[in-house]
Amino acid sequence: MKKTYSNRYNKYTKKNNYVNNFITRVLISIIVFFSILIYTNNKENLKTFKKYALDSHISFAKINKLYNKYLGVVVPTKKEAVTAFKEKSDTSLKAYENGYIKNNKNKDVNAIKEGIVVSITKDKNNKHTIIVQGIDEIDYTYGYLDSKNVNMYDYVSKGTVLGHTDDLLYLSFKKGNIYLKYEELNQNK
């Protein structure tokens, strides 16, 4: 009889601890957000900072990584060990505009690095373009996708299937305002 009561008590305590930790993280985030908001609205000399913050490139992936490091992961994710390319130097990539084009017939498109989906657009030919902001502050653009499996602000791990393409795949890698070559990605690891 004691074992059943003990097991139920342990399950209840674990569940209760998770809920309490989650609520604490949410409240701390809200307090920090409103503290910064109040501080910036009350200071006249911070108008230039607000203009800079609103006009510059914000690294959502870096913020997410810091949040997960110090406050914990809100929704646990399962890490996938799939690689986007089979070898370090993919010979099927051909230079095209500011990026690369790859023959990717009837294949899934996997994320090269983990990050956050910051843009999803659709062109007049019903092809999707997905931009993932990597934790290394590089924007990974995947174009000419026929279907998509992610939504805006989804956190994707390396190897996550972003979508599917029936023909070609466009890739580009941009850090700030500079487009990178595929070989430079291996150097930034």
Provide the residue-wise pLDDT of the chain in tens; the chain has 189 residues. 455 555 665 666 666 787 888 899 999 999 998 887 777 676 665 666 666 666 666 666 677 777 777 777 665 554 443 344 443 445 577 777 788 888 777 788 888 888 889 999 988 888 899 999 888 888 999 988 988 999 988 888 888 899 988 888 888 898 888 888 877 776 554
Same domain, 34 and 112: no
CATH number for position 133: 2.70.70.10
| Pairwise CA distance, residues 163 & 161, whole Å | 6
**By the 8 A CB rule, do 181 and 96 touch?**
no
Could you tell me the residue range of the domain that residue 97 belongs to? 93-187
- Is there a domain that residue 177 lies in? yes
- Is there a domain that residue 25 lies in? yes
| Pairwise CA distance, residues 10 & 31, whole Å | 31
| Residues sharing a CB contact under 8 Å with residue 146, sequence separation 6 or more, in sequence order | 126, 127, 128, 163, 164, 165, 166, 167
- Is there a domain that residue 144 lies in? yes
- Is there a domain that residue 138 lies in? yes
- Is there a domain that residue 80 lies in? no
Number of domains in the chain: 2
Residue 103, strand partner residues: 168
Same domain, 180 and 99: yes
- Is there a domain that residue 64 lies in? no
- Is there a domain that residue 72 lies in? no
Same domain, 99 and 182: yes
- pTM of this prediction? 0.57
Same domain, 106 and 161: yes
Same domain, 98 and 30: no
pLDDT given for residue 76 in this prediction: 54
Same domain, 97 and 156: yes
Same domain, 105 and 179: yes
- Is there a domain that residue 71 lies in? no
